[in-house]
Amino acid sequence: MFQKVVWITGASTGIGFELAKAFAKSGYIIIATARRKSRLVSLVSEIRFAGHEAYAFVCDVSSERSVISTRKKILEKCKSIDVLVNNAGVTVFKSFIDTKTYDYDNVLDTNLRGSFLTSKAVLPVMIKRKKGHIINIVSTAANTVFTESAVYSASKAGLLAMANVLRAEMRKCNVRISNVFPGATDTPMWSPLTRQKYSRRMMTPKEVADIVVQIANQPKKIVMEDVVIRPIKGDL
Q: Each residue of 32-85: pLDDT tens digit?
A: 999 989 999 999 999 999 999 999 999 999 999 999 999 999 999 999 999 999
pLDDT reading at 1 higher than 80: no
pLDDT digits (tens, 9 = 90+) for 110-164: 999 999 999 999 999 999 999 999 999 999 999 999 999 999 999 999 999 999 9
54-85 b/e (C-beta count within 10 Å ≥ 16 → b): bbbbebbbbbeebbeebbeebeeebebbbbbb
CA distance readout (Å), 181 to 75, 87, 147: 29, 11, 18
Q: Which of 39, 124, 135 is nearest to 75 (CA)?
A: 124
Q: Within 10 A of 235 (CB to CB), how many other CB atoms are there?
A: 12
Where does residue 20 rank: exposed (0-12), middle (13-18), buried (19+ CB within 10 A)? buried
**What is the band of 176 on the pLDDT scale with cuts at 50, 70, 90?**
very high
pLDDT of residue 236: 86
CATH number, span 5-229: 3.40.50.720
153 CB-side CA count, 13 A: 15
- Confidence (pLDDT) at 172: 97
How far is Cα of residue 215 from the mean position of the Cα atoms in its chain? Answer: 13
pLDDT in tens, 94-115: 999 999 999 999 999 999 999 9
The confidence band for 204, taking pLDDT boundaries of 50, 70 and 90, is: very high
Residues 193-205, mean pLDDT to the nearest whole number: 95
Distance CA 115, CA 63 (A): 11
Coil, helix or strand for 130? coil
Cβ atoms < 10 Å from Cβ of 165: 11
Give which of 114, 227, 123 is closest to 174, Cα–Cα: 123
pLDDT at 167 over 90: yes
pLDDT at position 2, please? 80
Q: Domain spans of the chain?
A: 5-229
